[in-house]
Amino acid sequence: MDKLIIEGGKLLDGAITVSGAKNSSLPILAATLLTDSQCIVHGVPGVMDIRTMLKIIGALGIASQFERGSIVTNPASQDTCVAPYELVSTMRASICVLGPLLAKRGFAKVSLPGGCVIGPRPINLHLKGLAMMGAEIEIEGGYVIARAKQLKGRHVYLGGPFGSSVLATANIMMAATMAKGTTVIENAACEPEVVDLANFLNKMGAKIRGIKTHVIEVEGVKALAGAEHTIIPDRIETGTYLIAGILAAKDLTLKNIEVNHIRAILDILKEAGVSVKMHNGEISVRRVRRLRPSDVTTLPYPGFPTDMQAQMMALLCCADGISVITERVYPERFMHVSELNRMGAQIKLEGSSAIIRGKKKLSGAPVMASDLRASAALVLGGLVADGATEISRIYHLDRGYERLDEKLSGVGARIRREKA
């Protein structure tokens, strides 16, 4: 198992190219189960979750080649409809094969998913939507077993206790592409990753309307063709490196970005006294010596993303005053707080809110990553801490960030990977 060692206090200077969005790539790869033809997907990040998804669709009969950020898929067999526990248990997005399998093959046996430990994330909305479309579903031995000779278009409401669900929207949308009739998904998620999936499905011949809205209409078709598509830039990776620049950059430029996808992040940074320069698909940022405190509430898109909460907390630990972060999507997503406090941060939890008393410096310390975004927050803290920070369990980081240590080293960070 690897760990990262970071020597804090080194200025970042140069350019980082943001990778394609992991959270777009995963459901798009699942969508290749819907066709008997070849698909080509460009801009795919080389992270562990992608390799896991390729193993899952490979177990379901989809052959693939992954080279230089592009994946070519070719259907080889439809003999198996079982997504096994040993793969699905490591990654929540693997539940996205459920809808395509039901739509194309009429049967699916998918292990209940795993992923980061960030609080309860039930799949009841996925099952509710598919059941409304005519699927017979049971849970047995840790697997979802679903059958449907022909899914039928229905009005499906995807309201959950914390808002719309990205993965449930993706699953129902993919299932509806080959259902009989028209499916209307109400309270649909409208995150950029959902839009990216819808655009890919339409390239395959699907008939999806209402993209970018909370009401999506899908008119079912008999068959889908192959398609070629380029993944959107990763907005969470963009935000992570933006914060790295604010904390530690002499002059950092981010390439391959989509500004419209990070408006909520930029708005909070503006409140904190940060100014960024944007030009021709690039953002430039410098270190900010005096950050203003801020109040942040995570919400579904277009609100501030929960996947940026931990990284923003690392930033506000260095602000000049008291900040409050309230988590409205996953109220228990605060496992990184204790580790940041080990580095000298002053953070107190009150229910679903974290109260952060900013200070001038953090201190290097041995810390442990609890999940993907918490890992990134600890890296950000380590960049500005006095002394060395040692981060263990970085396999979480490798699930969602492509070569993060190499990208940061390339712009001047003192960061190295070692065997634990």
Instruction: Name the CATH architecture for the domain at 2-18+233-419.
Output: Alpha-beta prism (3.65)
Name the pLDDT band for 120 (thresholds 50, 70, 90): very low
Residue 8 contacts residue 364 (beta carbons within 8 Å): yes
Reply yes or no on whether the pLDDT at 116 is more than 60. no
| Domain residue ranges in the chain | 2-18+233-419, 22-230
User: What SS3 state is found at 46?
Assistant: coil
User: What SS3 state is found at 418?
Assistant: strand
pLDDT score at 289: 86
Cα–Cα distance, 220 to 413 (Å, whole number):
51
Instruction: Name the CATH architecture for the domain at 22-230.
Output: Alpha-beta prism (3.65)
Cα–Cα distance, 247 to 240 (Å, whole number):
11
Please give the average per-residue pLDDT across 56-72, as a whole number.
97
Beta bridge partners of 419: 2
Reply yes or no on whether the pLDDT at 217 is more than 70. yes
Average pLDDT, the chain: 94
Of the candidates 64, 27, 71, the one whose C-alpha atom is nearest the C-alpha of residue 197 is: 27
Please give the average per-residue pLDDT across 164-181, as a whole number.
96
Task: Provide the H-helix boundaries in 73-212.
Answer: 85-88, 98-105, 124-132, 166-176, 192-203
Of the candidates 378, 394, 294, the one whose C-alpha atom is nearest the C-alpha of residue 343 is: 378
Is 39 a known active-site residue? no
The active-site residue out of 39, 81, 96, 116 is: 116
- Two tokens at 312? 């923003």
Give all strands (DSSP E) within 351-407, no chain letters.
Answer: 353-357, 366-368, 388-392
pLDDT score at 346: 98
CB count in 10 Å sphere of residue 418: 9
Counting runs of H as helices and runs of E as strands, what totals does the chain give?
14, 24
pLDDT tens-digit map of 22-48: 999 999 999 999 999 999 999 999 999
User: What SS3 state is found at 372?
Assistant: helix
Residue with tokens 């395959």: 204
- Two tokens at 309? 């909460």
User: What SS3 state is found at 145?
Assistant: strand
pLDDT score at 89: 84
Largest separation between any pair of C-alpha atoms in the chain: 62
pLDDT tens-digit map of 133-152: 999 999 999 899 999 999 99
pLDDT tens-digit map of 250-302: 999 999 999 999 999 999 999 999 989 998 889 999 999 899 999 999 999 99
Cα–Cα distance, 408 to 118 (Å, whole number):
26
pTM of the model: 0.95
For helices 235-248 and 263-271, the axis angle rounded to 10 degrees is: 20
Give yes or no on whether 2-18+233-419 and 22-230 have one common fold: yes
- Two tokens at 347? 């953070």
- Residue-by-residue DSSP string for 287-311: --SSBPP-EEEE-STTSB-GGGHHH
Cα–Cα distance, 275 to 268 (Å, whole number):
11
Task: Provide the H-helix boundaries in 177-234.
Answer: 192-203
With 0-12 / 13-18 / 19 or more C-beta atoms within 10 angstroms meaning exposed / middle / buried, residue 161 is exposed
